[in-house]
Amino acid sequence: MDFKPVSKEYLDSFSNDYNGCKINKIMTDIFSKNDFGSFGFNPEISKENYFRFSYEIPTMKSTNQRSSGRCWIFAAVNILREIIGKKLNVDFFELSQSHLAFWDKFERCNYYLNCVIDTAASPIDDQTVQYLLANTFGGDGGQWDMFANIVRKYGIMPKDAMPESYQTSSTGRLNGHLYEYMRVCAGRIRKLIKEGADAEKLEELRKDILSRVYGFLCRCFTEPPKTFDLEYIDKDKKYHMERDYTPESFRDKFIGDFLDNYISVINSPTEDKPFNKFYTVKYLGNIVGGDDILYYNLPIDELKTLVLQQLMDGELVWFGSDSGKFRDNDKRLWDDRCFDNTAITGLDSDYTKAESLDYRISAMGHAMVFCGVNIDERTGKPDRWKIQNSWGPDGVNEGYYYCSDSWFDRFVYQAVINKKYLKGKLEDISDIKVLNPWDPMGTLAN
């Protein structure tokens, strides 16, 4: 391979270029004492963004996932609680996020063990094996279908029945211990299989591993209650006590088969994913025997039209995006037009959405809820979108955020849409392309 070193002539040229530009000295002084986050901000464009919307869905106050990556759970239960809150006639209600996270982590460990067994015949340096060791079960992330799987198997309950603990709200060390243990177990499983162990021996090890995981999670979360009572005061100041729910009976009474009506629509304009096709990601899931992750890929304009239709019909929209791009924390705003990073860094970073996915420049890493939109009366098209986040109610807009329409185009990758808006497109889902485990469409769950 003909590798080329950096020559002295190059270095001299670079030094001359740097010293010959006055702006470099100015920026060096600024960079030495300031955070990058506010650089390149354009206040004139920012003035165009008002936190006002021509259409909003009333929602309860924002919640707080704290130091955890459970955004996908918080965003989903923030939708379900609105349904339950209306039935209970209450101003505020929360479902237990820790109950759902407990079962996700437990089931994810079992799913991971099955992945290890399935790939045990492959060499340790196989790309898929290395990906599973490095990424699967590395944190708190998840996907809409994974949420639905948990609810279908384990039900839901009010937050009072299983509240937060320190570990559920700050999951770094919890995940670290599980991360290490599961990889130790991967080694034990691969060794047993290599030695020719029979299915009974392998199952004995799997059961022991899961028993230890269950005990550890109970220490961190407390053990999920099998029954609980629902106690609340409604908007009319009337006290209610409803006893002896199970998570399953609570789910059946308050949300029924609601989750079955929705599908994940993505916008991935890459060559490997033609539009109007179905996709799943290999080895991405949580419950063995549950539904696979399923995506339907559409152009961004079509995805946006679906989101708009659903909002205007009074339904909230769960979505996945890259929340790290072009965020103004002071205004709680995402707008790619408000920052000129090239001007302050000298690094030209223009890219298309397809390039951002292919070259890992951007990918969805945070789930939130669309709850409003502003329609420009001149064009009849959206120019900004209201967002319910799960980063707490503090600060401006009381925990609600918003994004420009151009940011939506570039950094929204997924939206969960009621199937009724996709009539004629979902009848035949027999042809599903299986994407590699490391595909960018799996990043939110990792």
Active-site annotation holder among 338, 389, 403, 446: 389
Q: H-helix or E-strand containing 297?
A: strand 295-297
Look at strands 295-297 and 278-281 and give their pairing: antiparallel
Locate 382 and state its tokens: 């959206």
Catalytic residue among 149, 338, 366, 371: 366
For residues 140 and 170, is the Cβ–Cβ distance under 8 A? no
Q: What is the DSSP letter of 60?
A: P
Of 71, 115, 185, 338, the catalytic one is 71
Does residue 78 carry a catalytic annotation? no
Tokens of 283: 């080895």
DSSP states of 388-404 = E-SB-S-SGGGGEEEEE
Closest CA to 414 of 124, 7, 71: 71
CB contact set of 391 (below 8 Å; sequence gap of 6+): 62, 64, 65, 399
Between the alpha carbon of residue 409 and those of residues 44, 75, 166, 392, the distances in Å are 21, 20, 37, 26
Using CA atoms, how far residue 385 sits from 155, 292, 336, 434, in Å, is: 31, 30, 14, 32
Q: Decide if 366 is catalytic.
A: yes
Phi, psi of 392 (to 5 degrees): 95, 160
Residue found by looking up tokens 């704290």 in the block: 66
Nearest-CA neighbor of 42 among 257, 320, 313, 326? 326
Please say whether the beta carbons of 203 and 162 come within 8 A. no
Give the pair of three-digit tokens for residue 326: 């072009």
Report yes or no: 291 and 149 within 8 Å, Cβ to Cβ: yes
- Listed in sequence order, the residues at least 6 apart from 302 whose beta carbon sits closer than 8 Å to its beta carbon are none
d(CA 50, CA 397): 11
What is the distance between the alpha carbons of residues 160 and 444, in angstroms, rounded to a whole number?
Answer: 28
- Residue 360 tokens read as 């890992």
Asked whether 445 and 141 are in contact (CB, 8 A), the reply is: yes
Residues ≥6 apart with Cβ < 8 Å to 349: 341, 342, 361
The single-letter DSSP state of residue 443 is G
Q: Which residues are catalytic?
A: 71, 366, 389
